[in-house]
Amino acid sequence: MKYNKTNHIKLALGVLAVVGATFNLTSCMDKKKDNPFFSEYTTPHETAPFDEIKMEHYEPAFLEGIKQHQAEVDAIINNREEPTFENTIVALDFAGDMLDRVSTVFFNLNSAETSDEMQALAQKLSPVLTEHSNNVSLNEKLFARVKAVYENTDKKTLTTEQQRLLQKTYDSFARNGANLSEADKAKYRELTTELSKTTLAFSQNMLKATNSYALNVTDAARLKGMPESALEAAAQTAQEKGQEGWTFTLHAPSYSPLMMYCEDRDLRRELYMAYNTQNVQDNEYNNEENVKKIANLRLAIAQLLGYNSHADYVLENRMAENAANVNQLLDQLLTAYLPAAKEEVKAVQEMAARTEGKNFELMPWDWSFYSEKLRNEKYSLNDEMVRPYFKLENVTKGVFGLATRLYGITFEENKDIPVFHPDVKAYDVCDKDGSYLAVIYTDFFPRAGKRSGAWMTNYKEQYVKDAVDSRPHVSITMNFTKPTESKPALLTQDEVETFLHEFGHALHGIFAATNYPSMGGTNVYRDFVELPSQIMENFLPKKEFLATFAFHYETGELIPDELIERIVRAQNYNAAYLCIRQLSFGLLDMAWYSRTTPFEGDVLAYEQEAWAPTQLLPVVAETNMTTRFGHIMSGGYSAGYYSYKWSEMLDADAFSLFDKLGIYNQAVANSFRKNILEKGSSEHPKVLYRRFRGQDATIDAMMKRDGIIKE
C-alpha cells in the first residue's frame, strides 16, 4: 500500500502501548542536562535536533512530558473561572507540547529507523503512555469543563473552525469513555491497554518477519529474464550480507522485479510464498492470535461505548457516515468493474497459455510476470524502458517543480537542518512571495530499521499562537530502488507515482492554515485524507509534466513523445483488476470490523470467505493477508480501508477540472489550495469539496478515467 499516515501522538485518543513491562519511575528521572528535549530547539526553524538525540534521552523526556502535560491538564481543571472556549478547549488543544515533541520523534523513528533497543523501549514505555492517555480522557473534572463549554456556549459566537474544534474535543472524550460508569471506565482502561500492547506486537512481528527472510541465488541461469538493474541491486544485497551471487528480500524494490521478470517459475513461487505467508508460519512471528485479539478488543471497546460494531464506531466520524454507505460504494464498484477485470485476467491467462501450453493454470505467482509480458506485447512498454528516464534526483526536481508550477512555492535543501540518517534530506519550503512555509524531509531507500511501504508524517503541526503562525515540519518516507555502484537510483513508473502520492499528503501539511494544532493539514477524516495525495498521481502520464524532468540519466535525452504516448495508452492497463484487488482489501476490512460478535474461528478460512467475491486467481490456502495487513490491524485504517476507493472517486472528479481547464491552470490550483489543502478539518469535508468542485462526487469520473465508461 502506498500510504500509511503516522500522526503525532494525541494522547486523548488512547491508542499507544504494548507489552506490559515493569516501569520504575524513579530510576528514569536522571539529570536533564544535555537532553535536547528539555530545552527549546536552537536548530533552523526549531526542527528536531536529530544529531543530538540519543536513546537515553527518550525515557526521561517522556516522563517529563507526561508530568508537564498532567500539570497543564490540572491547571485547566483548577481554573476558578467559568469554563470557556479559550480557557478549556483551546488550552487543552495546546497542552502537552513537550510530550508531543518527544512522541513525534520517537514513534516516527520507530517506523523509519528503529532498532531492537528502540523497540524494547517502546514496550517499556507504552503502558505508561496508555495510562496517561486514559487519565486524561477519563478525567471526570476535565470532561465536566469540556461538557459545560459544549452545552452552554452560544455556537453562533464561534467561528466555524472553533465550532468544529469544540465538537471534536467533546467527541474525543465521549468516544474514549468519558460518559462511562466507574466500573466501565476501569474495563475501558483494561481493554485499551491490551489493544495497544497487541497492535504493537503485531507490527513488530511484521517488521521482524520481513527482515528475517532472504532468498540467495548462486546459479545465474535461474535469473534469466531479470533486468540488469535488478541483478545489480541483488548482487549488492548479497555482498552486504556476506553472500555469493544474488540475494532477494521481501522489500518491494527487491521483491517486485523478481516477480515481474524472472522466468524461473519455481523461484517466483518461492518468493511469493515467503511474502504471503510471512506472519502465518509456525514461528515466533505468527500473527494469527494477535489478529483475533485486535478484532475482538476493538469490538469490545465499541460495544462498551454503546456501538454495535467497531465499524459503527469508526464511521460515525467519516464522510461515508455509516457501513451501509461504505458497502454501497464497494458493491457499486464490484458490479461495475468485475466483468472488465475478468476479461483482463482472461487475456493474461491466454498470453500465458500461448507461452506455456493450453493447459497452463495461471497462479498468483505468475500474475506479475505474464501481465507484464502482455503489457509489453500490447504497448511495447515495460518498467525497464522508462526507468532510465526516472533518475531520482530528476524526479525530485520534477515533483517539487510541479508544486512550483501549480502554487508558486519553492524548495531549497537546507544542510544545516539535522537529519536522522544520511539518506534523509531536509528542505526549506517558501511561498510564492518568498515567505517561509514549512520544512520537508525526504527519506527514499529501504533499510533494516525501516518498515515497508510509503507514508507521510509530521514532526510538527501548524498552528497560530500569540498571533504567530507556527509553520509545520513534514516528512515523506518511501522504499525506492537504491543506487548501485554503477547506476544512480532509477525509479519505476509505480515508484514515481508513489512519490507523487506521498508528496500530495505533504502539500496538505505544508499549506495548513488553521489556528489549532489538531485541526490543520492531514488531521481530517480518513476517507478525505487521500484526496490531496491521489489527485497528484493524475499528473504522471501528462506530457507537459514529464517534459520537465524525464531526461535519460546517461544521454540527457528528453523522454521521447512516442514513449509518452505508450505510457498514456497503457495507463488503464488492468485498471479493473487493480480496482477489484483494492475492493478485496476493503471487503476484508469490513468483514473484520462489521462483526457484532467476537471472532473465535480460523483466520485463514475467514479471510477467504470474506473476499471470495473478488478473487480472480486461484486461492492458495496457506497464504494470508490479514496477518500482515498493518493498515487495518496496527495502523489507522481499521474499518477504513474503503477510504482509498472513496478518495479515488473524489480525486477523479476533482482532477477532471484540471483536465478540462489545463493541468497547470492557476485558478483551479489556487481553489484547490484555498478550499482543500489549507483548510484541514476546519470545515466539514463535504462542504469543502462542494466549494471547490461545485458538486458532490460520483464514481462516473473514475470509471471514465479507468476506461470502464467509454466517452
The domain spanning residue 63 has which CATH number? 1.10.1370.40
Quick one: pLDDT at residue 564? 95
Residue 472 to residue 437: CA distance in whole angstroms: 8
Residues 426 and 522 in one domain: yes
- Give yes or no: 289 in active site: no
**Percent residues over pLDDT 90 in the chain:** 91
Residues 414 and 459 in one domain: yes
Does residue 605 have a pLDDT over 70? yes
Q: Is residue 634 part of a domain?
A: no
Stretch 653-673: mean pLDDT: 97
> Residue 636 — pLDDT band, cuts 50, 70, 90?
confident
Q: Is residue 555 part of a domain?
A: no
Range of the domain at 222: 213-276
**Domain end (from 152, 175, 207):** 207
Does residue 43 have a pLDDT over 90? yes
Q: Please tell me the total number of residues recorded for the chain in this structure.
A: 711
- Long-range pairs for 549-557: beta carbons < 8 A, 24 or more residues apart: 549/394, 549/395, 549/397, 549/398, 549/399, 549/401, 550/386, 550/389, 550/390, 550/394, 550/398, 551/389, 551/391, 551/394, 552/388, 552/389, 553/388, 553/389, 553/391, 553/394, 553/487, 553/488, 553/490, 554/388
Number of domains in the chain: 3
From first CA to last CA, the distance across the chain in angstroms is 30
Residues 100 and 224 in one domain: no
Give yes or no for a contact between 428 and 412, defined as CB atoms under 8 angstroms apart: yes
Q: Is residue 296 part of a domain?
A: no
**Percent residues over pLDDT 70 in the chain:** 95
Q: Is residue 664 part of a domain?
A: yes
Q: Of all helices (H) and strands (E), which one includes residue 666?
A: helix 666-672
CA 247 to chain centre: 28
Does residue 64 have a pLDDT over 60? yes
Stretch 639-650: mean pLDDT: 95
248 φ, ψ (degrees, to nearest 5): -115, 145
Q: Is residue 249 part of a domain?
A: yes
Q: Is residue 467 part of a domain?
A: yes
Q: Is residue 263 part of a domain?
A: yes
Does residue 8 have a pLDDT over 90? no
Cβ-Cβ contacts under 8 Å for 320 (sequence gap 6 or more): 326, 329, 527, 642, 646
Is 0.85 topped by the overall pTM?
Answer: yes
Residues 431 and 470 in one domain: yes
Residues 451 and 522 in one domain: yes
Per-residue pLDDT tens for 370-386? 999 999 999 999 889 99
Residues 182 and 266 in one domain: no
> Residue 22 — pLDDT band, cuts 50, 70, 90?
very low
Residues 202 and 125 in one domain: yes
Active-site residue identified among 59, 194, 497, 502: 502
Mean pLDDT for the chain?
Answer: 93
Stretch 4-8: mean pLDDT: 33
